Chain A
């Protein structure tokens, strides 16, 4: 998980104020204030954030008191304890997580037209198929003149049945 975080706030460290940046942050200690980040913020199991967060991704295993907005994902893992409102297009709450606040994933896709036009298309092609079949069959019978050339037994037998 803590793959390429350049910034770490260690367990005994408190950062109070405003944090801004464009990289991942691993929080093992404590943050108070606000975070504006183009990157992922991971709040470790023993970490605590009393802050308003605006991040790309948020992963909470510890404590968050404050509102959080993520442009991508917010995930509350089983050890998370959160008080605040969360806004993100994707929000995952794992079993065991404790949460009090509002979740906002944006507008629900209520009236997507996708299924309705698909049904309307089906009846149109079916009548079109039936006239094509009879049109195709007569040309097959027409070139009956061929059998004259091959002297083999099989074509003769077939053609002989058809010609009369």
Chain B
């Protein structure tokens, strides 16, 4: 399925909403609310409150995250913010600061 890609040279200041997956390679500031998966890649910087089915953090995320299935912070990922998700995976090497709430009904 076609997903939205924000390329590495792109900066979005505002709100991204949608039904598809979102891949961020550049920078997003504001709010992200999508029905599918969010991928924050190594080169990316996201300063936003996030609502998504799942969130994969390989880059830098600042903001509160609500995921309906899972959140993964990869080894290269850096994240500051509160996470609400039924499942969470934080890899060895990842940087995280914030609170985690896994008491979310699916």
A interface with B by C-beta (< 8 Å): 5-23, 25, 28-29, 33
Cross-interface CB contact of A29 among B8, B9, B11, B18, cutoff 8 Å: B18
The DSSP consensus for interface residues of chain B is: strand
Given contacts A6-B5, A8-B4, is CB(A13)–CB(B10) below 8 Å? no
In the bound assembly, the distance between CA atoms of A152 and B6 in angstroms comes to 89
Q: Is the CB of A10 within 8 A of B7?
A: no
Inter-chain contacts of B26 with A (CB < 8 A): 7, 21
In the bound assembly, the distance between CA atoms of A22 and B88 in angstroms comes to 35
Q: Is the CB of B20 within 8 A of A13?
A: yes
In the bound assembly, the distance between CA atoms of A8 and B20 in angstroms comes to 11
Beyond A19-B13, A20-B11: 8 further Cβ-contacts under 8 Å? A5-B7, A7-B6, A10-B2, A10-B18, A12-B19, A13-B18, A21-B9, A23-B8
Inter-chain contacts of B25 with A (CB < 8 A): 6
* Chain B residue total in the interface (Cβ 8 A): 24
For the complex formed, measure the closest distance between the CB of B8 and the CB atoms of chain A, giving whole angstroms: 7
In the bound assembly, the distance between CA atoms of A20 and B27 in angstroms comes to 10
For the complex formed, measure the closest distance between the CB of A66 and the CB atoms of chain B, giving whole angstroms: 15
Q: Is the CB of B2 within 8 A of A18?
A: no
Name the interface residues of B1-55: CB closer than 8 Å to any CB of A.
Answer: 2-20, 22, 25-26, 30, 34
In the bound assembly, the distance between CA atoms of A91 and B26 in angstroms comes to 31
B interface with A by C-beta (< 8 Å): 2-20, 22, 25-26, 30, 34
Q: Is the CB of A13 within 8 A of B9?
A: no
In the bound assembly, the distance between CA atoms of A55 and B88 in angstroms comes to 41
Q: Is the CB of A19 within 8 A of B11?
A: yes
Q: Is the CB of A18 within 8 A of B17?
A: no
For the complex formed, measure the closest distance between the CB of B16 and the CB atoms of chain A, giving whole angstroms: 5
Task: Give 16 pairs: A residue, B residue, CB < 8 Å, sorted on A.
Answer: A6-B7, A6-B8, A7-B5, A7-B6, A12-B19, A13-B19, A13-B34, A14-B15, A17-B12, A17-B13, A17-B14, A21-B10, A23-B8, A25-B7, A25-B10, A29-B18
Inter-chain contacts of B20 with A (CB < 8 A): 10-13
